Amino acid sequence: MRPVIPYVVAALLFGLGVFGVLRRRNAVLVLMSVELMLNAVNLILVTADTTARAALPHGGQVFTLFVIVLAAAEIGVGLAIVLQLYRLRATVDTDDVPLDGGQERPQGGVA
């Protein structure tokens, strides 16, 4: 088994996830891209379990399970935030999120 194949697949998945997070404007699609990145990390960990001989056996796979649990918690809280954003603003466009405490700027005013 050549470990370079899953390693390269994981690197490409991570790059695609970074691309999606930066490019996508819809918050749900941004969360999907974050899931791609987390999966790339999981693939790296599982592959490292075959190449690195650690003191504890199966350390990489145990860490993968932990990362999957963290991803489940992250997606729950993230989607709650997205739904609240939709309820407040009627949009999930990340470009429309105000970054200064939610105060509407006066029209024509200088930021």
Two tokens at 47?
């592959």
Query: Which candidate, 74, 77, 104, places its Cα nearest to that of 88?
Result: 104
The residue (of 77 and 110) whose beta carbon lies closer to other proteins is: 77
- Cβ 108 to other proteins shortest distance, Å: 25
Q: Which is nearer to other proteins, 4 or 97 (CB)?
A: 4
Instruction: Give me the least distance between CB of 67 and other proteins, in Å please.
Output: 10
Alpha carbons 109 and 111: distance in angstroms, whole number: 6
Taking the least distance from each CB to other proteins, the nearer of 55 and 110 is 55
> Which tokens is 105 given?
């700027």
